[in-house]
Amino acid sequence: MKSAATMEKLVSLCKRRGFIFPGSEIYGGLANTWDYGPYGVELKNNVKRAWWKYFVQDREDMVGLDASILMNPRVWEASGHVTSFSDPLMDCKKCKERVRGDKLLEEKLGIEGVAGKSLKQISELIKTHKVPCPKCGACDFTEARSFNLMFKTYQGVIEEDAAMVYLRPETAQGIFVNFKNVQQTTRKRLPFGIGQIGKAFRNEITPGNFTFRTREFEQMEIEYFVREKEWKPRYESWKKDVEHFFEKILKISKERIRWRQHEKDELSHYSKETWDTEYKFPFGWGELSGLAYRTDFDLKQHEKFSGEKMEYLDPETNEKIIPHCIEPSFGLDRTVLVALLEAYDEDEAPTEKGGMESRVVLRFPPNIAPVKAAILPLMKKDPLGPAAREIFETLKKNFAVEYDESGSIGKRYRRHDELGTPFCFTVDFQTVDDKTVTVRDRDTMKQERIKIDEISALLLHYP
């Protein structure tokens, strides 16, 4: 049976086993920053690779890109982020706590789709419903005002406005400004898309829930260019591809994923239709990915602001058109968080003394497990150590495997259960005689003997 993870249990496991640490911890931390540890980075890289393979490498209509985080500030004027990318901010007059008006309304009143309300409407709703300050309980806020979410910094040695640049709030614009470069060098014809994985930064007022909402995060984004008349069927087919990725590749349970359409007044300034996939987190439903129909808004804006033509010569009609765009966008850190939550389980395992003990196990699908297999000599001493090491040296050429000889075999099994290692291969005295090892399955805890020669095939069978 699957036992539900709580955030508290997961955060503690992530720290204990080296998946995710609090950022700058020895200095008392920096609010809302998290560092991926040795197993976290392997997990994250595996999720990235699975995404890249499925959405970019396996498709003839997709290519990849890796654009800069720092871009010409005019990009963000063209994209609308300078004027429209902001949160409604309010201060508590009593205790000076700074809050997001829309979030306060959502949390206290359960109003969905507050994002589209005007600053004035938000201020009024807070007053009418006497929403209290989360810190001191008073209901005495300043009027809501607009707070831009882009991080600013300065390029070069002089801190003056002319040298100001933004840390990109989305990876998408790097794709739009390279549309012509990519199209001309790859000679791709519509419909085709460009995928990119990279960091983005948003100065959120109220981040939280572990790695769910952080100010620095990683996105996996696609801009898929189509002719206007074909956007709807393409959009529907992207919905299926997104579902396939979550259900078939990351093996996320169907019951914990749902689609939610954005209300008209909740849509981003560039979008005509948006559906989010949401995941049922321990703290409630939360956005995992978005699928936006961005129309020809971005390319048109860049044509206007840069003066460069962003047209595509349609070989079918010989017409010059500006393509429309469908954007499947995924939060990588959220996807990793979901992979951890989905994998988390507790059950009972036999102890070496013949009793039972509770165990924590991460049931990762093998394709994203940070360690594919552990090679464990039953004892450190000769000839078991060298025999196990020989197996490890062979396997490590093709697989992410670990050699582990310290502690009792039971302790080592527990450790690898908590790391989500699908297989443990134990080397004992019989190994030296007949070239077999014991393979232990993480999920069933069943053990059987197989030949050393069969190990690679077993690991390949569970890619």
- Where along the sequence are the contacts to Zn ion (CB under 5 A)? 92, 94-95, 97, 133, 135-136
- Tell me how many degrees the CA angle 252-253-254 measures, rounded to the nearest 5: 115
Residue number, 91 or 405, with CB nearest to Zn ion: 91
| H runs (alpha helix) in 26-163 | 38-52, 74-78, 81-84, 101-109, 119-128
Residue number, 94 or 129, with CB nearest to Zn ion: 94
Q: How many CB atoms lie within 10 A of CB 68?
A: 10
Residue number, 136 or 432, with CB nearest to Zn ion: 136
Q: How far is the CB of 132 from Zn ion (least distance, A)?
A: 8
Q: How far is the CB of 142 from Zn ion (least distance, A)?
A: 11
Contact (CB, 8 A) for 275 and 290? yes
Residue number, 113 or 132, with CB nearest to Zn ion: 132
Residue 186 carries which side chain, given as an amino acid letter?
A: T
Residue number, 107 or 405, with CB nearest to Zn ion: 107
Residue number, 97 or 278, with CB nearest to Zn ion: 97
Q: How far is the CB of 97 from Zn ion (least distance, A)?
A: 4
Phi, psi dihedrals of residue 145, rounded to the nearest 5°: -130, 165
Residue number, 5 or 104, with CB nearest to Zn ion: 104
267: three-class secondary structure by DSSP = coil
Residue 17 tokens read as 């086993």
Q: Which of 349, 343, 348 is nearest to 371 (CA)?
A: 343
Burial of 358 (C-beta count, 10 Å sphere; 0-12/13-18/19+): exposed
Q: How far is the CB of 118 from Zn ion (least distance, A)?
A: 24
Contact (CB, 8 A) for 376 and 405? yes
In the beta sheet, which residues pair with residue 331? 219
CA 248 vs. chain centroid, Å, equals 17
Q: How far is the CB of 208 from Zn ion (least distance, A)?
A: 18
Contact (CB, 8 A) for 252 and 206? no
Q: How far is the CB of 96 from Zn ion (least distance, A)?
A: 7
Residue number, 147 or 285, with CB nearest to Zn ion: 147
H helix or E strand, kind and range, residue 335? helix 332-343
Q: How far is the CB of 133 from Zn ion (least distance, A)?
A: 3
Q: How many whole angstroms separate alpha carbon 85 and alpha carbon 202?
A: 10
H helix or E strand, kind and range, residue 16? helix 7-16
Residue number, 93 or 120, with CB nearest to Zn ion: 93
Residues 6+ apart with CB under 8 A from 75: 173, 177, 302, 305
Q: How far is the CB of 321 from Zn ion (least distance, A)?
A: 54
Q: How far is the CB of 134 from Zn ion (least distance, A)?
A: 8
